[in-house]
């Protein structure tokens, strides 16, 4: 779809979806968050700018549904030391752009800017970057085929990260 046509699409449902997703993460409803993904869905946070592939380079996160489940089982485990006490987060999503839209297949690529502030154990830090959600309309709802978050400092050295961005 041409850029002019993309500009004409109502952004509201996409915006609502992204706000809903962010709210699930901030509420630590990780299982509900995982349920947003398609069965073949992936969550990817590259470790280098403009990373071409999750296969031949290290990534901070590259989870398929199986790994997401293992990650969330762990997040709910009583002895996850790195979440004792747990993180509190606030996501802010904005600058939303519909980058691709195909009403026939029901697939959309939505770009947005995300800022996540995380507080844990007397320390607060900030993550920021551009994220892309590849969404597929299934029934009346969107599901995530891939969520990719490109942090502006993706190749820096991080203190331990436990919760998805």
Partner 1 sequence: MTNPGDYITTELGRQPVIMTRHRDGSVHVLLNRCTHRGAKVVNERSGHAPRLVCCYHGWTYDTDGRLTNVPVPEGCGEGFDKANFGLARAPRTGEYRGFVFASLAATGPSFEDHIGAMKGNIDDLVDRAPDGELALDAGMHRYVYNGNWKLQVENVLDSYHVPFGHASTVNKQGVQFARREGDQKGAAVIETEKKQTATTWNDRKSFIVGNGHGWTSNTTLDDGKRSSPAFDAYRKVLAAKVGAERAAQILTPRLHNSLIYPNMSIMGLNIHVRVIKPIAVDRTEVTIYPIRLVGAPAAMNFGNIRLLNVTHSAASFVQTDDLESFVRTQKGLHSTLTDWVDISRGLGAEEPDRELNATRGLATHEMVVRAQFKAWLGYMREAA
**Within 10 A of 7 (CB to CB), how many other CB atoms are there?**
10
Q: Which stretch binds partner 1 (CB under 8 A): 25-33, 53-61, 93-101, 138-146?
A: 53-61
Residue 82 as a binder of partner 1 (CB under 8 A): the answer is yes
Nearer to partner 1, 9 or 47 (CB): 47
Residue 79 as a binder of partner 1 (CB under 8 A): the answer is yes
Residue 158 as a binder of partner 1 (CB under 8 A): the answer is yes
Distance (Å, rounded) from C-alpha 77 to C-alpha 75? 6
Strands 37-46 and 59-63: antiparallel
Q: Which of 18, 45, 98, 101 binds partner 1 (CB under 8 A)?
A: 45
Q: Which of 9, 23, 115, 162 binds partner 1 (CB under 8 A)?
A: 162
Nearer to partner 1, 10 or 159 (CB): 159
SS (H, E, C) 36-100: CEEEEEEEEEECCCCCCCCCCCCEEEEECHHHHHHHHHHHCCCCCHHHCCCCEEEEEEEEEEEEE
Q: Which stretch binds partner 1 (CB under 8 A): 17-25, 29-37, 101-109, 151-159?
A: 151-159
């Amino acid at each position: 779809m041409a850029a002019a046509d993309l500009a004409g699409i109502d952004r509201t449902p996409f915006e609502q979806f992204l706000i809903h997703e962010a709210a699930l993460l901030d509420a630590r409803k990780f299982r509900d968050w995982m349920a947003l993904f398609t069965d073949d869905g992936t969550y990817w946070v590259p470790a280098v700018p403009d990373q071409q592939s999750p296969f031949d380079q290290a990534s901070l996160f590259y989870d398929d549904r199986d790994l997401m489940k293992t990650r969330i089982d762990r997040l709910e485990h009583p002895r996850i030391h790195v979440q004792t006490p747990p993180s509190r987060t606030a996501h802010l999503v904005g600058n939303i752009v519909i980058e691709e839209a195909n009403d026939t297949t029901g697939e959309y690529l939505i770009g947005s800017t995300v800022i996540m502030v995380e507080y844990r154990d007397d320390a607060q830090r900030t993550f920021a970057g551009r994220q892309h959600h590849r969404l597929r309309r299934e029934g009346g709802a969107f599901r995530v085929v891939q969520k990719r978050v490109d942090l502006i400092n993706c190749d820096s050295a991080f203190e331990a990260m436990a919760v998805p961005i």
